[in-house]
């Protein structure tokens, strides 16, 4: 069965091996192993404070996290050796759990910088406004979006929609969405999940949410649960539904895993792929 084996190897998009990462000398990720195949939609669950956001930030290259051991391979390339911009160019994208408000930066400038990171020739202004206008309509965002400041005065739901709008414009191959449904009302969840379903055709997703409601709409191929900085268990919609209804206690009992209590620790500032670029 050599061919099948080779085909399987070819299909792996991202592979994380024994990843350890710390913030302020506290080890948060303690040996994450995870392989995601091209075309998958992987649901990432886990109690608060167990390293879900940290994992995504480390994959994207947040400077606050120090990788102390392990590796991340994306299409066989060493991700940890790449800058944030190189990762974005290679097709990685992160929609952050708490997108920051950046009062001095206009959305059109921000999106232009982000789009240009991935292009040889800069996008023409007319083309830029055309794509922003189209994406804003699809996301049902305000028509004057382009002239507003990044996330300033946005409601929680608008911030989340704007993250998906960025994903639509940047066209990543591997999109990581961190609690994309938090702060969204029923309409927002419908719009966001519709967009994810459309983008599923040519993208691979890693999606953090606490709620079965979102996952029922986007139909993940697999669910993984992160506990104590490691991938503790894996399953399907059954695991997601059980967590939604019962929480995490049963994993402690049935899988004999001691779930450590979340410590109250300082919150990190989040970055995104284009920060370096938009400063230039």
Ligand X SMILES: Nc1ncnc2c1ncn2[C@@H]1O[C@H](COP(=O)(O)OP(=O)(O)O)[C@@H](O)[C@H]1O
Residues that bind Mg ion (CB under 5 A): 52-53, 97
Residue 63 is a binding residue for ligand X (CB under 6 A): no
Instruction: Give me the residue label for tokens 């994406």.
Output: 135
Binding partner of 48, given Mg ion, ligand X, none, CB within 5-8 angstroms per partner class: ligand X
Binding partner of 278, given ligand X, Mg ion, none, CB within 5-8 angstroms per partner class: none
Q: How far is the CB of 143 from ligand X (least distance, A)?
A: 34
> With respect to ligand X, which residue has the nearer C-beta, 111 or 176?
176
From 39, 49, 70, 183, residue interacting with ligand X (rule: CB under 6 A) = 49
Q: How far is the CB of 101 from ligand X (least distance, A)?
A: 19
Residue 247 is a binding residue for ligand X (CB under 6 A): no
Residue 220 is a binding residue for ligand X (CB under 6 A): no
Residue 251 is a binding residue for ligand X (CB under 6 A): no
Contacts of 154 (CB under 8 A, 6+ apart): 101, 162
Binding partner of 266, given Mg ion, ligand X, none, CB within 5-8 angstroms per partner class: ligand X
Quick one: which of 162, 163, 172, 161 has its CA closest to 199?
A: 172
- Bridge partners of residue 42, in order along the sequence: 206, 222
Quick one: which of 191, 194, 231 has its CA closest to 50?
A: 231
> With respect to ligand X, which residue has the nearer C-beta, 21 or 115?
21
Q: How far is the CB of 271 from Mg ion (least distance, A)?
A: 15
Binding partner of 28, given Mg ion, ligand X, none, CB within 5-8 angstroms per partner class: ligand X
> With respect to ligand X, which residue has the nearer C-beta, 73 or 268?
268
Distance between CA 280 and CA 276 in Å, rounded? 7
Distance between CA 78 and CA 128 in Å, rounded? 32
Residue 46 is a binding residue for ligand X (CB under 6 A): yes
Residue 207 is a binding residue for ligand X (CB under 6 A): no
Residue 265 is a binding residue for ligand X (CB under 6 A): yes
Distance between CA 128 and CA 115 in Å, rounded? 9
Residue 245 is a binding residue for ligand X (CB under 6 A): no
Binding partner of 254, given Mg ion, ligand X, none, CB within 5-8 angstroms per partner class: none
Is residue 175 a contact partner of residue 163, using CB atoms and an 8 Å limit?
A: no
> With respect to Mg ion, which residue has the nearer C-beta, 135 or 175?
175
Q: DSSP letter for 259, please.
A: -
- For 229, the token pair is 């900085």
Cα distances (Å, whole numbers) of residue 197 to 133, 180, 189: 21, 14, 12
Residue 99 is a binding residue for ligand X (CB under 6 A): no
Helix (H, G, I), strand (E, B), or coil: what is residue 14?
strand
Is residue 244 a contact partner of residue 71, using CB atoms and an 8 Å limit?
A: no
> With respect to ligand X, which residue has the nearer C-beta, 26 or 186?
26
> Per CB under 6 A, which region of 12-20, 98-106, 164-172, 263-271 contacts ligand X?
263-271
Distance between CA 210 and CA 145 in Å, rounded? 29
Strand ranges of the sheet holding 77-78, from the earlier edge strand across to the other edge: 26-37, 12-23, 66-74, 77-78
Residues in contact with ligand X by CB under 6 A are 23-24, 26, 28, 46, 48-54, 64, 262-263, 265-266, 268
């Amino acid at each position: 069965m050599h061919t099948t084996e080779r085909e399987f190897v070819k299909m792996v998009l991202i592979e994380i091996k024994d990843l350890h990462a710390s913030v302020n000398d506290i080890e948060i990720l303690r040996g994450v192993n995870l392989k995601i195949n091209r075309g998958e939609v992987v649901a990432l669950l886990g109690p608060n404070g167990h390293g879900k956001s940290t994992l995504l930030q480390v994959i994207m290259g947040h400077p606050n996290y120090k990788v102390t051991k392990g590796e991340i391979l994306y299409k066989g390339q060493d991700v940890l050796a790449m800058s944030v911009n190189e990762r974005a160019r290679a097709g990685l994208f992160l929609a952050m759990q708490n997108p920051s408000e950046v009062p001095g930066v206009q959305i059109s400038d921000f999106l232009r910088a982000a789009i240009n990171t991935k292009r040889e020739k800069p996008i023409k202004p007319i083309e830029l406004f055309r794509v922003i206008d189209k994406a804003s309509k699809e996301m049902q965002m305000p028509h004057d979006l382009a002239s507003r400041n990044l996330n300033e005065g946005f409601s929680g739901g608008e911030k989340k929609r704007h993250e998906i709008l960025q994903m639509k414009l940047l066209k990543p191959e591997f999109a990581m969405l961190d609690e994309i449904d938090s702060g969204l009302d029923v309409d927002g969840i419908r719009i966001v999940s519709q967009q994810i379903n459309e983008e599923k055709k040519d993208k691979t997703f890693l999606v953090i949410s606490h709620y079965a409601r979102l996952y029922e709409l986007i139909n993940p191929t697999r669910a993984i649960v992160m506990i104590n900085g490691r991938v503790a268990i894996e399953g399907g919609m059954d695991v997601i539904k059980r967590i939604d209804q019962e929480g995490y206690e049963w994993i402690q009992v049935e899988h004999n895993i001691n779930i450590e209590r979340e410590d109250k620790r300082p919150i990190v500032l989040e970055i995104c792929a284009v920060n370096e670029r938009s400063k230039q």
